[in-house]
Copies of this chain bind each other. A is one copy, B any other.
Amino acid sequence: MLQSLEIELTSNKKQQPAADQLGFGNHFTDHMFIMDYSTDNGWHKPRIQPYQPIVLDPAAKVFHYGQTIFEGLKAYKTDDGRVLLFRPHKNIQRMNRSNERLSVPELNVDVVIEALKQLISVDKDWIPTAPSTSLYIRPFIIATQPQLGVAPSTHYQFIIIMSPVGAYYTEGVNPVKIFVESEYVRSVKGGVGEAKTAGNYAAGLKAQEIAKEKGYSQVLWLDGVHRKYIEEVGSMNVFFKLKGVVHTPALNGSILDGVTRNSIIQLLKHWNIEVIERPITIEELYKASQNGELEEAFGTGTAAVISPIGELNWQDDVLIINDGKTGELSKKLYDTLTGIQMGKLEDPLGWMVEATPVNV
């Protein structure tokens, strides 16, 4: 497996940014992984090479017909120098589900994990260690066939790039204000909302910009059919604590099956806290709040991990959650999950995968 991996090292290492200058997704490591696909040869020619531009024919299908899939996961360096990945198989398996939906060829999960470990090994010095920092990993696939016709591409590239990152929200773990979107729709059943594909994110920009202008960090998406069921918050899944029980929208075909979402559900069950996956309407949430039953709300995702929600605005009806403060459970989930990820806490559910370079 990956016996044929070619590694070309850079002769020109970049200067690394200071820990407090990282931001999110602004800086990239010295190397990248690439693998090609053609209908004739399948996935082939895996290689690690210096981080460098992608060179594509202007007719490459990715520019015109949007066949592209991505993933996002993180690597952490522990205090004792080990490198840990958080549930990487989950991401590559999801990538394959996205691939299936977008008619992109399937990847061999083990080959990709192995490639990722090799890439991390080459760029190990790029994993930041300051609190709240990590190495964000972005595997993605683009359709490269230079042909203007709406049909699946015959050629693709699978690429992994990596970025040392700080906190996603500059606000940190503080609660964010969320605008409930009534006009624009992120996705609908039968569409591609379940897939991590570029078009979904472009489709969400407009609503996000309008929300920002109104002073909100993000939008809460409602379903495209009834415009009442809660789907996601920005690019995060969403949870609500109602009278001690945690509720989250059930996966329904238009919601992304988040790795963090799945982990939160498992962790809560592990703690014997009840979690219910079901359709949740925005109206119900407002009623629960009026009745004093809405205790906490938070988004979950790889980038921000847990993002508490302090305020919702639904058609000018403003709802303050937990006095706009981070709830106790949200905080505990954040601390536990990041603690496990950084290797500071025990990993009771066997999530972390060691990717410590052999020669570290």
Which residue from chain B places its CB closest to the CB of A60 in the assembled complex?
B54
Q: How many copies altogether?
A: 2
Query: Could you tell me which A residues sit within 8 Å of B by CB distance?
Result: 24-26, 28, 32, 51-60, 62-68, 70, 101-103, 136, 138, 140, 142, 146-152, 159, 161, 163, 183-192, 197-206, 208-209, 224-225, 227, 234-235
Contact A191 B197 (CB under 8 A): no
Please give, as numbers and ranges, the residues of chain B lying within 8 Å of A192 by CB-CB distance.
199, 202-203
Which residue of B25, B32, B53, B146 is within 8 Å of A149 (Cβ)?
Answer: B25
Chain B min CB distance to A212 (Å): 9
In the complex formed, the residue of B with least CB distance to A225 is B225
Smallest CB–CB gap between A297 and chain B, Å? 20
CB closest residue in chain B, given A224: B188
Q: Is the CB of B59 within 8 A of A62?
A: no
* Distance between A188 CB and nearest chain B CB, rounded to angstroms: 4
With a CB–CB cut-off of 8 A, which chain B residues contact A183?
190
Tell me whether B58 and A56 are in contact (CB under 8 A): no
Nearest CB of chain B from residue A119's CB, rounded to whole Å = 13
Asked if A68 meets B202 with Cβ closer than 8 Å, knowing A58-B32, A185-B189, A189-B185, the reply is yes
